[in-house]
Amino acid sequence: MGNKSATPDTLQPRLRAEQLHTHYQQLPAMIIAPALGALFTTWVLWGAVNTTYLGFGLAGVLSISALRILLFQRYFAQDRRETATEKWHYLAISLALISGCIWGSMAIFLYPPLQSEYDVYMLVLLALVPVAPMAALAVYMPAFYAYYLPCIAPFIITLGMQESRAERMTALLLLMMTGAIITFANRYAAMLTEAIRLRLQLADKTEQLEQAAIVKTRFLAAASHDLRQPVHAMGLFLESLQNRYRELRDSKLFTQVEQSILTLRRMLDAMLDISRLDADMVEIRRQNFRLDKLLNHLHNEYAPLATRKGLRFRYVASRQVVNSDPVLLERILRNFLSNAIKYTHHGRILLGCRRRGEQMLIQICDSGFGIPASRLDEVFFEFTRLHNTENHSEQGLGLGLSIIKRLAHLLEHEITVHSEEGRGSIFSIAVPCSRNIAESIHKNNPIHSAPAPELRQWRVLIVDDDEAVRLGMAALLEQWHAEVISAAGMNDLPDKISQLDCAPNLLLVDYHLSANICAQDVIHALQVEFGKQIPTIIITGDTEPTRIREAHEAGHILLHKPVDPEKLKACISSLVPANQVAGL
């Protein structure tokens, strides 16, 4: 999409169109006020002036008001993008000109009144009529001039031709007022034009930012999808090798390969987390629980990592009961602890909490690099990395804290950062306290690996258009004693189904297949073929928010590539009858 605000020439037509639009928004005021004013004036002056013209003038004003009602309805009934600006420009000027001529003719045909006691009323009327609609008309200066000049000129000329000095002085006063009013109207119009110009430029910038965000999301989704395929296949092959050759587990080379894949998976999962947040697919499960179980678990996990790096890790226990989502809160604290260990080369790390009113402030303190005061807010921006670590592979994409900030916002927990460059940082999150009996933190916290499912006599149908993924998945499932049938897509499916004498026990299907086929097409075809629902796990590398929402609403288990074998075990185990689950 082009930059609409690139040059004044491209902005000017839109600016004029917006001014005209504002003019038509003011039509209700120009419909009601003149009509009521004409009716009131007719009632007051009836019998005191030429009643024939008074009737014609009233009819003219009411006719103009009726036309404006029609134009108002027609203008706002059409799509603004299809508005013919020139047509509405000439209509606005024409009606303003006719209206100004009708009101201006009042001075010629009605002044002076037949009864002298109405002289004051007529003079006040002559002074107010040109000025009254100024605010409504000055939003579009061509219409203002079309009304004001033919309205005021007859008043000045008529009063200037009268014999009395008072009337001639009134004409002079109106002439001086004309200059002041035109000056004021131009300044008002200039201010309004500048406001419209700024609004249009802001809209352009906003549109550009939104477009950039869309491009970023699409790029992340596409890049993530393309990267997930080979990483997913590598993870499956690696798990198969581990199970087949147990001695590899102690191999340093194997450990390095495993660590590299884990690092890749974490980067891709960070992209997925952004997409899930964009799709509003993060579920909050609040409960009351005691902090000591969560903090003790984190201490036991991260203390050895700190010791290995030569850091002192101190932990202050707390028996306080808080209300939050324990899984998401643990994730936030994990990120803080990981960063503290990553960016601290010597000194200490402290994990603890303290009471602050009705909240518990959970804090992670370190003696690391620290953050410059001018850049404290930047750490929560996407793709921001303020420091370079010795191990570049551990730096990630700079998405961690931006994800944490959004998770804390969903939980309605405040995050604060205090840091001094070269001396360390304190990351804090405020969690509301609870006086209720605590529930176990481990209830919804899947920190233990799932048992491998025993799939003897199970037929598992894999549908994926990536051959490496099919081979890797088949190798892993066969080690769990499943009978595996693989298909590349819908064209390959009939031959594979013909090999089955009954419906498969489990379906593993990629969400996006070739020829614009998706998982729902495959699932529907198999349901029609076998006449029953088949337990299904949808596996996808697509992280676009809309795709995540669509897959989630399908009602099947959804996993994202690269699939962690432990997570796959847990998902399959949830579909396998309890009496068939056994550890291998």
- Is the pTM above the cut of 0.85? no
Find out whether 551 and 538 touch, Cβ atoms under 8 Å: yes
Residue type (1 letter), 574: S
Tokens 């984190």 correspond to: 298
Strand order of the β-sheet with 424-432 is 312-315, 348-356, 359-366, 424-432, 414-420
Q: Which regions of 332-480 does DSSP assign to beta strands (E)?
A: 348-356, 359-366, 414-420, 424-432, 459-463
pLDDT at 431: 92
Mean pLDDT, the chain cut into blocks of 10 residues (584 residues total): 51 82 84 86 86 88 90 80 72 88 84 80 78 78 88 86 84 86 87 86 82 69 62 69 63 65 60 57 77 85 86 86 85 84 88 87 88 70 52 48 78 86 87 62 41 72 86 84 86 82 86 82 86 85 65 73 78 65 39
Find out whether 393 and 263 touch, Cβ atoms under 8 Å: yes
pLDDT at 392: 42
Listed residue (404, 445, 449, 450) closest to 285, CA to CA: 445
pLDDT at 81: 56
Instruction: Enter the tokens of residue 189.
Output: 């119009």
Answer whether CATH 3.30.470.20 is correct for domain 287-444.
no
Find out whether 434 and 291 touch, Cβ atoms under 8 Å: no
Distance CA 201, CA 434 (A): 49
Contacts of 75 (CB under 8 A, 6+ apart): 24, 83, 88
Find out whether 321 and 436 touch, Cβ atoms under 8 Å: yes
Angstrom CA distances, 558 to 145, 262, 494, stand at 66, 20, 25
pLDDT, tens digit, 9 for 90 and up, residues 443-475: 334 334 455 566 777 888 999 888 888 888 888
pLDDT, tens digit, 9 for 90 and up, residues 179-204: 888 888 888 888 888 888 888 888 88
What is 215-281+448-584's CATH topology? Rossmann fold (3.40.50)
List, in sequence order, every residue forming a beta bridge with 349; answer none if it has no partner.
Answer: 313, 366
pLDDT at 340: 87
pLDDT, tens digit, 9 for 90 and up, residues 116-125: 788 788 777 7
pLDDT at 380: 64
